[in-house]
Amino acid sequence: MNSNEEITSVINFLCMFMPETLAKRIVCIILLAVGMPIEQIAQLTGFCGKTVKLVRKKLREGGICDLFKVGGGGRKSKTADVEQAIVDEINTNQYHSRQQIADMILEKHGIRLSVNAVGELLKKNNIKRLKCGSIPAKAKPDKQREFFEDVLQPLMKQAQNHKIALLFVDASHFVMGCDFLGYVYGKARHFVRTCSGRRRYNVLGALNFVTKKLTTVTNDTYITATQVCELLKKVAAEYVGAPIYIVLDNASYQKCRVVFELAAELGINLVYIPSYSPNLNLIERLWKFVKGKLRTQYYDDFNIFTEKINAITNSTDKENKQAMDRLISDKIQLFDDLFPTAANPYVCTVQSLQQAA
């Protein structure tokens, strides 16, 4: 047993029954017993020379039993006595980097930790670097909860039972340029060309809660009550014979006399969400999905740009149906179960995170 492939095969076989470190130690002991040089053993097992020498020393001192122990019995962590206090401090205040946490630990507890050690501490306590969410400053969480439980949730259940057609309506404005920069993996930073001018493509959509089909009216100028009325006519023609309920926000071009009159004429029920409550309009999730598909891509032709958007929005009930089913459901993020951690920041309860997942 002296080839690299054979040693690797033996280690892989032993790993089926024990931790990798223990498997390598056993192979190391065997190779030491047959007199193989330390440098060669280190190369074959992946251990460093110092580790191989420690194994040899244990063997000579009769401490072979210690070589079969993995983990445990190590020295006490420097932060063991104050670990919970550190975790509470991180949860209570805002720290944006591991270096800031390391500085906090040094200042408050007199313990100097490397950035890597802070990372291990965070991993051990299941603390992750999470993107902050936003709450509209004028949002009223109690009104949102009341609307969801008394109005929206019953409508969702009726739609799921095929008693009504429930649609969510909103407009999104896609500006051709660098509005869709995102994160990509790589060893070097990526740059994307920008476009001259600010041509935009407006999409007013009505998303079916159950089927995920999107009915749209588009242009490259403005969305007004005229486009809303055009969309209402399309929806009425598409869902003939079914009671139609449309959930929409309080934008002035959607909440005006001409829209009210046409909706009444077509037999469409308009359901307006509370002010400053974009989280209650599920089509917002679709717009985020579309923008994600447009990221880190340079478009030098407006027609190609609009064709790409149309291809995505036309496939919500086809190729992208599975993704839409995950995004569009009866799980709604509400804010009445948040609790303040400081003057401004809020955090979710574990229960609310599970409900919104």
Q: Please compute Rg for the chain using Cα positions.
A: 30
| Shared domain check, 186 and 313 | yes
Mean pLDDT computed over 18-42 = 87
Task: Report pLDDT digits (tens) over 203-216.
Answer: 999 999 999 999 99
DSSP string, 166-229: EEEEEEEEEETTTTT-----SSS-------SS--EEEEEEEEETTT--EEEEEESS---HHHHH
Contacts of 2 (CB under 8 A, 6+ apart): 36
Confidence of residue 346 (pLDDT cuts 50, 70, 90): low
For the chain, give the percent of residues with pLDDT over 70.
89
Both 102 and 39 in one domain: the answer is no
Residue 319 belongs to a domain: yes
For the stretch 324-340, pLDDT in tens is: 999 999 999 888 777 66
Task: Give the CATH number, domain containing residue 190.
Answer: 3.30.420.10
Residues 212 and 346 in one domain: yes
Cβ neighbours of residue 265 closer than 8 Å, sequence gap 6 or more: none
Residue ranges making up the domain that contains 11: 4-67
Tell me: do 56 and 149 sit in the same domain: no
Given a contact cutoff of 8 angstroms between Cβ atoms, the answer to whether 203 and 175 are in contact is no
Give residue 272's pLDDT band: very low, low, confident or very high (50, 70, 90).
very high
Of all helices (H) and strands (E), which one includes residue 347?
strand 346-347
Residue 307 domain-assigned? yes
Give the per-residue pLDDT at 352: 47
Q: Could you tell me the pLDDT band of residue 297, with boundaries at 50, 70 and 90?
A: confident
Given a contact cutoff of 8 angstroms between Cβ atoms, the answer to whether 352 and 133 are in contact is no
What does the pLDDT look like over 186-207, one tens digit per residue?
Answer: 778 877 777 666 789 999 999 9
Q: pLDDT confidence of 343, banded at 50, 70, 90?
A: low
Specify whether 223 is located in the same domain as 341. yes
**Does residue 135 lie within any of the structural domains?**
no
Mark whether 232 and 164 lie in a shared domain.
Answer: yes
Q: Checking DSSP bridges between strand 244-248 and strand 268-272, what pairing results, if any? A: parallel
**pLDDT of residue 33 exceeding 90:** no
Taking alpha carbons only, the member of 262, 269, 316 closest to residue 289 is 316
Is 134 a domain residue? no
Whether 303 maps to a domain, the answer reads yes
Pair (209, 342) in one structural domain: yes
Determine the pLDDT at residue 354. 46
Q: Which helix (H) or strand (E) holds 90?
A: helix 83-92
234-255 pLDDT, tens per residue?
999 999 999 999 999 999 999 9
**Residue 223: predicted pLDDT:** 96
Q: What is the pLDDT of residue 350?
A: 45
Question: Which distant-in-sequence residues (6+ apart) come within 8 Å of 192 by Cβ?
Answer: 178, 181, 296, 297, 298
* 75 belongs to a structural domain: no
Structural domain count, the chain? 3
Exposure string over 248-284, b if 16+ CB within 10 A, otherwise e: bbeeebbeeeebeebbeeeebebbbbbebbebbbbbb
How far is 83 from 339, CA to CA, in rounded Å? 23
Instruction: Tell me 151's DSSP state.
Output: I
Where does a domain end: 26, 45, 67? Answer: 67
Each residue of 79-102: pLDDT tens digit? Answer: 888 999 999 999 888 898 999 999
Confidence of residue 315 (pLDDT cuts 50, 70, 90): very high
Q: How big is the CA angle at 167 (ends 165 and 172), to the nearest 5 degrees?
A: 160
Does the pLDDT value for residue 76 go beyond 80? no
Same domain, 164 and 60: no
Q: CA nearest 334: which of 276, 280, 275, 274?
A: 280
Q: Residue 263 has what pLDDT?
A: 97
Specify if 330 maps to a domain.
yes
Q: Is the pLDDT of residue 357 over 50?
A: no
Q: What is the b/e burial string over 152-167, where b = at least 16 CB atoms within 10 angstroms of the residue's CB? A: beebbeebeeeebbbb
